[in-house]
Amino acid sequence: SASLVGSEMCIRDRIVPDYFRRNKIQKGKGRKKMIKVAPSILSADFAYLADEIKKIETAGADWVHIDVMDGAFVPNLTFGAPVVKNIRKVTDLFFDCHLMVNNPEQYIDDFADAGADMVVVHAEATKHLHRCVQYIKNKGMQAGVALNPASPLCLVEEILPDVDMVLLMSVNPGFGGQSFIETTVPKIARLRKMINDAGLNIEIQVDGGINDKTSKLVREAGATVLVAGSYVYGAADTKAAIASLKA
Ligand code: DX5
Ligand code: ZN
C-alpha cells in the first residue's frame, strides 16, 4: 500500500544520510572506486609467512586477505588470531580477516586485539548478523559480510547501510585453487545496482578463482576488491600478477 511505501522511504531517508555523515562521503561522490588487490596468504608457505607477506607488499598488494577456518563452517582448518597478532609486527598493510567460522561473534575481541583492520563474517554463520556487525564496528574495525555462492543477496539487503564491504564468494569456501563459479558475475552486477540505488558507498569483494581473466569479468560487473591466492602466490613474477588483476 502507499502508506507502507511511504514509511519505508522515511526509514531510508533517515538511515542513508546518517551513513554518509559517518563515512564523510557526499551522495553521488566516490562511487568510482580504485581497484584493490588482496592476495590471500592461504596459498603462502606458512613456514616463511613473514617473507611471504613482505613479498606481496613489495609487489604492490593493497590488502592482506587472511582466511580463518574452523573446520566446522568449512571443511578445513587454518589459523586464528594469534597468527594475525604475530604477522601484524611485520607489515602495516591493511588486514582483511575473512572468518569462515561458526558463531564469529565469539572471536571478534581477539581479532581486534591482534590488529585486524577489517573483520568479514559470513551471513550464514551467525544468528544475529546485525549485532555481530555492530560489535565489529564498536571495536574500531571495519565490518564486512560474506555470502556463499548459493546464498541470495537479500540476506545482506537490510544490513547494507551498516557495512563497509560485501564479500561475494566465487567458490565454495574452504580451499584455495578452485575454479571460478560463473554465476557470480551477474550476482555482482545485481549487488552493485542495489548499492548504487541506495546511494551507498560500499566495496564489493570477490574471492575464489580470481586470475587475469576472471578479474576482468568481476571488475566490469562492479567488484572493487579482488582476492587472489593461488594466482598471486603461484606466479613467477608476483608484481606482474598483481598488476594484471588491475589491468
Ligand atoms: C577460500 C578462501 C579464499 C582462497 C582463494 O575458502 O576464502 O580466500 O584463498 O584462493 P584462490 O584465489 O586460489 O581461489
Ligand atoms: Zn577468503
Ligand 1 binding pocket includes 39 (Cβ within 6 Å): no
Query: Which pLDDT belongs to residue 27?
Result: 44
Report how far residue 81's alpha carbon sits from residue 143's, in angstroms, rounded to the nearest whole number: 16
Which residues have CB under 8 Å from 178's CB, separation 6+?
A: 171, 172, 208, 209
CA of 206 to the centre of ligand 1 (A): 10
pLDDT digits (tens), the chain, 247 positions: 344 444 444 444 444 445 444 444 444 444 457 999 999 999 999 999 999 999 999 999 999 999 999 999 999 999 999 999 999 999 999 999 999 999 999 999 999 999 999 999 999 999 999 999 999 999 999 999 999 999 999 999 999 999 999 999 999 999 999 999 999 999 999 999 999 999 999 999 999 999 999 999 999 999 999 999 999 999 999 999 999 999 9
pLDDT tens digit sequence for 169-224 = 999 999 999 999 999 999 999 999 999 999 999 999 999 999 999 999 999 999 99
Of 199, 180, 193, 181, give the one whose Cα is nearest residue 222.
193
Q: How far is the CA of 21 from the centre of ligand 2 (A)?
A: 30
Q: b/e per residue, 164-193, with b = 16+ CB within 10 A?
A: bbbbbbbbebbbbeeebbeebbebbbebbe
What pairs with residue 136 in β-bridges?
none
**Ligand 1 site, residue 122, Cβ cutoff 6 A:** no
In this prediction, residue 1 carries a pLDDT of 38
For ligand 1, mutation pick of 37, 68, 78, 230 (most atoms within 8 Å of CB): 230
List the grid coordinates of 201: 558507498
For ligand 1, say whether the CB of 76 is within 6 Å of any of its atoms. Answer: no
Q: Which residues contact 34 (CB under 8 A, 6 or more apart)?
A: 224
- C-beta of 95 in contact with ligand 1 (< 6 A): no
> Measured from the CA of 229, which atom of ligand 1 is nearest?
12
- pTM equals 0.89
